[in-house]
Chains A and B, each alone.
Chain A
């Protein structure tokens, strides 16, 4: 209510910013339910459940991204072993380097949790260090993928156009790597902002939390991709070698 309900006042303000102010000003009865990007769920007096909008937004994003990956995983499974023109997965995919890679990526899920804890405690220096660790682990994963692809292309002449294995492999693994890249950019941006002193624990904890959701999601997708490509897809048909 207050000034919001006074149209005359609104008329006078000549900047477009005024509208943003109208929209996001906290509502007396509403607490931060519609306000902060992060934050937890807020309860209005009526007891109805209202999650913070930022959380719902990121949850939706993750939900639709999952659907996107499902389509590529389905395509991969659908085509396993269908194209006998080599190279085949069981001829060229090497497990050990991928395992190292996976360990790096999955442990970055742990480091970002640590970063978040540090931020909540207000230990900004530790937050930066854990964040840096996360970035490095993610970057190592990307580097490992690059090495793997390089080998596949140079030593085995496997490209996206070679056969169905190449087609489905590069699309699925590639889209995952793309998501890692996006995540890395966002994490690095956060790191830079925090180095410039723009990350405030109380205010931005919720936002970083949302970023960590995305990062966990990328990790979980990798578990599925790994299982599809390196476990299921690497079995030679009929047990032959």
Chain B
């Protein structure tokens, strides 16, 4: 991955042990090809949680580029009315693959990858509880993703190139029954996502076991970094809802290949059952995607405000509350499916309820910044951007939870606007913040700050241009998932602006990618603890040795590293 000199002789990662020399700068150039093969082999057989974490993030970013291209194609199609750049079929395939990829092959793996990298370091452990299972999970995820993409060439043979799944990321029956979905595209969706789902579940098991069993001396549950708390809740959510998705997928597979009729309305099956099962998974899934980002900024904001996180116990309680409540709100995705008024009211109420713990968190982050000495380094920029955008996305979510309002705006671009604000403004900004914040830990050098600021501002502007107008076109009645529209609806301007934002977002991401490549090739070593942080991952060298810590760390408070740096003023007084 990198040929960096870390600047710490003793801390040079030892790798698999068989080719230790490759880590010295210049070594790669000396020994050429053999060396590359050795390196590849090393990365393929690795069971080191840090390397697996990096592999997860890297493959997630790869799929991110693919899904980004798909999004760009869709926006190009919609830039002007009555456009025939893409066929309706292609358009269906694009939004299906885009959503599926972003949720299952970008969001989850990147977040779980970062968790993989950080959690053992943060709790002072040497590795995950089950390192080999961990590696297995990663390869399952990658295989599942590739299987899904194989449908581009595989589902109807090469002659049917491009016949990928086309029924939306939620795969509503009966669109997915045999009669409406011929060929094997839908089967690829089922199997690919099922396999990569198994990968996520193994990671979740691993995270729970690691966090409960491997904490270093002194690390009680209430001293764990908030990120670790969020990750345990995410893992529990994954274990609770991914199997339900798997079960639904199995049923659909039985319908499609064995002639069962779970979801076939023509044989008394129910399309609604699919929706219930899918959203019972789908809603918690969005919390699986946002909670880790909550964790990232809960680590970033205190460090860059030079203050202890405000209301730690309340943050923990809110996280756990979100976990439970999120299991009971799924039918807010089904208000227009014609449930009973009673059920609608019930699910609207539970949805409002979930905004309470979410609101608490937002106030606590602001409370942490309040009166702090804030440094706007790039991670902090992304964290504050997160706050603003997530609040906006949360508010449109609350609006959608109002049943009559949802009846007007469900399945319009308003919903698209809502969930991109939470998923990009929330999750992705959190991920970008995390990448800037922990990159020095992983590779021993900081990403370029100036380029980072460019990424932030350009991406922010592009994002706003693209997604803010969607709320307006949605309110003007533009439905989701249409491949083109007539010029007389008043939607042209908003669609034009939306598409104009796209190149800016591409530019922002490209600058980030360039920044990463450049830093990997010739970054300046930055020391073990470049941000003057307080959690244990900064107590070891950057990058950490394969066994993480030279000495088993001891945790004395919620900010163990503060205690080590300031023995005269330990942290207990501040808790």
Residues of A within 8 A of B (CB): 1, 4-5, 7-8, 10-11, 13-16, 18-20, 22-23, 27-30, 33-34, 44-53, 56-57, 60-61, 63-65, 67-68, 70-72, 74-75, 78-79, 82-83, 85, 160-161, 163-164, 166-168, 170-171
A68 and B246 contacting across the interface, CB-CB below 8 Å: yes
> A53 contacts which of B11, B214, B218, B220 (Cβ < 8 Å)?
B214
| B119 CB to nearest A CB, Å | 13
> B201 contacts which of A51, A64, A82, A168 (Cβ < 8 Å)?
A64
Q: Known: A1-B552, A53-B210, A72-B247. Is A23-B217 also a contact (CB below 8 A)? A: no
Residues in B neighbouring A47, C-beta threshold 8 A: 220
| B557 CB to nearest A CB, Å | 12
A-B contact pairs, 24 of them (CB 8 A): A1-B550, A7-B12, A8-B10, A16-B16, A27-B126, A33-B213, A34-B125, A34-B129, A34-B214, A51-B213, A52-B213, A53-B213, A53-B214, A57-B129, A61-B205, A67-B241, A71-B277, A82-B268, A160-B258, A161-B259, A164-B268, A166-B260, A167-B260, A171-B251
Residues in A neighbouring B389, C-beta threshold 8 A: none
Q: Which A residue sits closest to B220, measured CB to CB?
A: A48
Q: Which B residue sits closest to A70, measured CB to CB?
A: B244
Q: Which B residue sits closest to A10, measured CB to CB?
A: B14
Q: Which A residue sits closest to B258, measured CB to CB?
A: A160
A230, B48: Cα distance in complex, Å? 49
> B262 contacts which of A20, A44, A167 (Cβ < 8 Å)?
A167
Mark B549-564 against chain A: 1 for CB-CB distance below 8 A, else 0: 0111000000000000
> A19 contacts which of B48, B267, B269, B552 (Cβ < 8 Å)?
B48
Residues in B neighbouring A13, C-beta threshold 8 A: 17
B18 close to A (CB within 8 Å): yes
Residues in A neighbouring B269, C-beta threshold 8 A: 79, 164, 167
Residues in A neighbouring B242, C-beta threshold 8 A: 64
Residues in B neighbouring A33, C-beta threshold 8 A: 213-214
A10 and B259 contacting across the interface, CB-CB below 8 Å: no
| B460 CB to nearest A CB, Å | 38
A71 and B11 contacting across the interface, CB-CB below 8 Å: no
B275-320 interface (Cβ within 8 A of A): 277
A1, B18: Cα distance in complex, Å? 23
A23 and B126 contacting across the interface, CB-CB below 8 Å: yes
Residues in B neighbouring A49, C-beta threshold 8 A: 221
Residues in A neighbouring B206, C-beta threshold 8 A: 57
Q: Known: A18-B17, A23-B127, A56-B209. Is A68-B247 also a contact (CB below 8 A)? A: yes
Residues in B neighbouring A5, C-beta threshold 8 A: 550-551
> A48 contacts which of B48, B221, B267, B273 (Cβ < 8 Å)?
B221
B213 and A67 contacting across the interface, CB-CB below 8 Å: no
Residues in A neighbouring B129, C-beta threshold 8 A: 34, 53, 56-57
Q: Known: A10-B14, A68-B243. Is A34-B251 also a contact (CB below 8 A)? A: no
Residues of B within 8 A of A (CB): 10-12, 14, 16-18, 20, 45, 47-48, 125-127, 129-131, 201, 204-206, 208-210, 212-215, 217-221, 239-244, 246-248, 250-251, 254, 258-262, 267-270, 273, 277, 545-547, 550-552
> A78 contacts which of B47, B239, B270 (Cβ < 8 Å)?
B270
Q: Known: A163-B268, A164-B261. Is A64-B239 also a contact (CB below 8 A)? A: yes
Residues in A neighbouring B14, C-beta threshold 8 A: 7, 10-11
A60 and B258 contacting across the interface, CB-CB below 8 Å: no
B240 and A64 contacting across the interface, CB-CB below 8 Å: yes
A171, B217: Cα distance in complex, Å? 47
B126 and A22 contacting across the interface, CB-CB below 8 Å: yes
B125 and A167 contacting across the interface, CB-CB below 8 Å: no
Q: Known: A19-B16, A160-B254. Is A48-B550 also a contact (CB below 8 A)? A: no
B213 and A71 contacting across the interface, CB-CB below 8 Å: no
Residues in A neighbouring B210, C-beta threshold 8 A: 53
A30 and B268 contacting across the interface, CB-CB below 8 Å: no
| B272 CB to nearest A CB, Å | 9
Q: Known: A14-B18, A27-B552, A64-B239. Is A56-B212 also a contact (CB below 8 A)? A: yes
With A68-B243, A161-B258, A167-B262 known, 11 other A-B pairs at CB within 8 A are A1-B550, A10-B545, A34-B126, A44-B217, A46-B218, A48-B221, A64-B240, A67-B244, A71-B248, A171-B251, A171-B262
Residues in A neighbouring B552, C-beta threshold 8 A: 1, 27-30
| B276 CB to nearest A CB, Å | 8
> A57 contacts which of B131, B209, B241, B243 (Cβ < 8 Å)?
B209
B205 and A60 contacting across the interface, CB-CB below 8 Å: yes
A72, B219: Cα distance in complex, Å? 40
A44, B219: Cα distance in complex, Å? 10
> B17 contacts which of A16, A72, A79 (Cβ < 8 Å)?
A16
A79, B239: Cα distance in complex, Å? 26
> B213 contacts which of A50, A61, A163 (Cβ < 8 Å)?
A50
A34 and B213 contacting across the interface, CB-CB below 8 Å: yes
Q: Known: A7-B10, A19-B16, A68-B247. Is A75-B546 also a contact (CB below 8 A)? A: no
Residues in A neighbouring B260, C-beta threshold 8 A: 160-161, 166-167, 170-171
A29, B124: Cα distance in complex, Å? 13
A51 and B212 contacting across the interface, CB-CB below 8 Å: yes
Residues in B neighbouring A53, C-beta threshold 8 A: 129-130, 209-210, 212-214
A60 and B239 contacting across the interface, CB-CB below 8 Å: yes
Residues in A neighbouring B545, C-beta threshold 8 A: 7, 10
Residues in B neighbouring A67, C-beta threshold 8 A: 239-241, 243-244, 247
Residues in B neighbouring A170, C-beta threshold 8 A: 260
| B417 CB to nearest A CB, Å | 32
4 smallest CB-CB distances across A and B, nearest first, come from A161-B259, A71-B247, A68-B243, A53-B129
B47 and A19 contacting across the interface, CB-CB below 8 Å: yes
> A11 contacts which of B20, B218, B239, B551 (Cβ < 8 Å)?
B20
Most A Cβ at <10 Å: residue of B18, B213, B277: B213
